[in-house]
Amino acid sequence: MLARFIAVALTAVLCSQTAAARAPASPARGRALFTGGEPLTGRVRDHGANLPPAVVVCQGCHRTGSAGETTPRPAPDLERGLLLQARVRRGGPPSAYNRAAFCKLLRTGIDPAYVLVAREMPIFELDDAQCESLWQFLVADGGTR
């Protein structure tokens, strides 16, 4: 009886994780990922252990185009213009983000100008739908939320 209960519980856990991994890309999912409503997995570059999910919430360091928010943040505000307009980044050549460059940054820490971002920026383990969702959220509506 206990073995059957354990098997059912494990199946439920695996199915819920698989369903989350298969969730389609959408700006709403991107908002949940950005705000911590859907947890992300990330670690400090060159470290093997993942950080606690509460530490790798995007809005802990970044702001979006939210009007009136005055809380200082240690990382740049993420808004449509910052991502899509070509600009000089950390001494590199002018570059702009597209979805592929954005996802590469999140997964490797390398920006579109092939410059490593600050070590404090986690390296994320994202599936394609999660990355697409974050991208859609950040570039939708001119970066305002």
**41-54 pLDDT, tens digit each:** 999 998 989 999 99
Neighbours of 130 (CB within 10 A): 24
Residue 6 lies in a domain: no
* Residue 128 or 4, more confident: 128
CATH number of the domain where residue 49 is located: 1.10.760
Residue 4 lies in a domain: no
Residue 75 lies in a domain: yes
The secondary structure of residue 113, as a DSSP letter, is T
**Residues contacting 21, CB < 8 A, separation 6+:** 127, 129
Domain of 79, in residue numbers: 26-143
Give the number of domains in the chain.
1
Q: What is the mean pLDDT of the chain?
A: 83
pLDDT attached to residue 11: 52
pTM score of the predicted model: 0.77
Residue 119 lies in a domain: yes
Residue 3 lies in a domain: no
Tokens of 93: 């050549």
**What separation in angstroms does the CA of 52 have from each of 18, 102, 128?**
20, 23, 21
Residue 116 lies in a domain: yes
Residue 39 lies in a domain: yes
Q: What share of the chain is helix, strand, coil (3-state, %, to 5)?
A: 45, 10, 45
**93-145 pLDDT, tens digit each:** 899 999 999 999 999 999 998 888 898 999 999 999 999 999 999 998 644 44
Residue 32 lies in a domain: yes
pLDDT attached to residue 16: 44
